[in-house]
Amino acid sequence: MTRVYNFSAGPAILPQEVLEIAQKEMLDYKGTGMSVMEMSHRSKVYDKIIKTTEANLRKLMNISDDYAVLFMQGGASAQFAAVPMNLAVNHKRIAVVNTGAWSDKAIEEGKRFVEVDVIASSKEQNFTFIPDVDKLQIPSNVDYLHIVSNNTIYGTKYNKLPKTNVPIVSDMSSSILSEEINVNDYACIFAGAQKNIGPAGLCIVIVKRSLMGKEMSITPKLYSYSATDKEESMLNTPPTYGVYLAGLVFEDLLAKGGVKAAQKRNEEKAKILYDFIDNSKLFKSPVNKSDRSLMNVPFLTGSDELDSKFLAEADILGLVNLKGHRSVGGMRASIYNAMPTAGVQKLVDFMQKFENNNK
Ligand SMILES: Cc1ncc(COP(=O)(O)O)c(C=O)c1O
253 pLDDT exceeds 90? yes
Whether residues 211 and 128 share a domain: the answer is yes
Q: Can you give the pLDDT at residue 1?
A: 84
Decide whether any atom of ligand 1 lies within 6 Å of the 121 Cβ. no
Helices marked H in 121-257: 225-230, 240-255
Decide whether any atom of ligand 1 lies within 6 Å of the 334 Cβ. no
Mean pLDDT of 53-59: 98
Helices 258-279 + 341-357 axis angle, to 10: 0
Q: Which of 71, 107, 170, 173 to mutate to test the pocket of ligand 1 (most atoms within 8 A of CB)?
A: 173
Domain end marker among 237, 255, 273: 255
List the residue whose alpha carbon is closest to atom 10 of ligand 1: 75
Q: Can you give the pLDDT at residue 199?
A: 96
Ligand 1 centroid to Cα of residue 326, in Å, is 16
Residue 189: C-alpha distances to residues 5, 347, 351 (Å): 29, 32, 36
150-176 pLDDT tens trace: 999 999 999 999 999 999 999 999 999
Q: Which of 163, 253, 161, 238 is nearest to 203 (CA)?
A: 238
Q: Can you give the pLDDT at residue 288?
A: 97
> CATH number of the domain that 266 lies in?
3.90.1150.10
Q: Can you give the pLDDT at residue 59?
A: 98
DSSP code at position 209: G
Secondary structure of the chain: what % helix, strand, coil (to 5)?
40, 15, 45
> Considering the domain boundaries, does residue 6 fall inside one?
no
Whether residues 244 and 271 share a domain: the answer is no
Domain end marker among 215, 237, 255: 255
> Considering the domain boundaries, does residue 2 fall inside one?
no
Decide whether any atom of ligand 1 lies within 6 Å of the 109 Cβ. no
Ligand 1 centroid to Cα of residue 75, in Å, is 7
Domain end marker among 255, 279, 296: 255
Ligand 1 centroid to Cα of residue 192, in Å, is 6
Whether residues 196 and 312 share a domain: the answer is no
> Considering the domain boundaries, does residue 237 fall inside one?
yes
What is d(CA 189, CA 185) in angstroms, rounded to the nearest whole number? 10
195 assigned to active site: yes
What is d(CA 22, CA 29) in angstroms, rounded to the nearest whole number? 9
Ligand 1 centroid to Cα of residue 108, in Å, is 14
178-225 pLDDT tens trace: 999 999 999 999 999 999 999 999 999 999 999 999 999 999 999 999
Give the H/E segment covering residue 75.
helix 75-87
The number of beta carbons lying within 10 Å of the beta carbon of residue 357 is 9
Mean pLDDT of 51-70: 98
Decide whether any atom of ligand 1 lies within 6 Å of the 173 Cβ. yes
Decide whether any atom of ligand 1 lies within 6 Å of the 73 Cβ. no
Q: SS3 of 230, please? A: helix
63 pLDDT exceeds 90? yes
Decide whether any atom of ligand 1 lies within 6 Å of the 10 Cβ. yes
Per cent of the chain over pLDDT 70 is 100
359 pLDDT exceeds 90? no
In ligand 1, the atom with minimum distance to the C-alpha of 153 is 16
Q: Can you give the pLDDT at residue 174?
A: 98
> Considering the domain boundaries, does residue 342 fall inside one?
yes
> Considering the domain boundaries, does residue 288 fall inside one?
yes
**Which structural domain, as residue segments, surrounds residue 105?**
17-255
Which residue in the list 102, 208, 252, 291 is annotated as catalytic? 102
212-242 pLDDT tens trace: 999 999 999 999 999 999 999 999 999 999 9
262-301 pLDDT tens trace: 999 999 999 999 999 999 999 999 999 999 999 999 999 9
What is d(CA 139, CA 103) in angstroms, rounded to the nearest whole number? 18
Give the H/E segment covering residue 68.
strand 67-72
Decide whether any atom of ligand 1 lies within 6 Å of the 77 Cβ. yes
Whether residues 270 and 195 share a domain: the answer is no
**Counts of helices then strands in the chain (DSSP H, E):** 9, 13
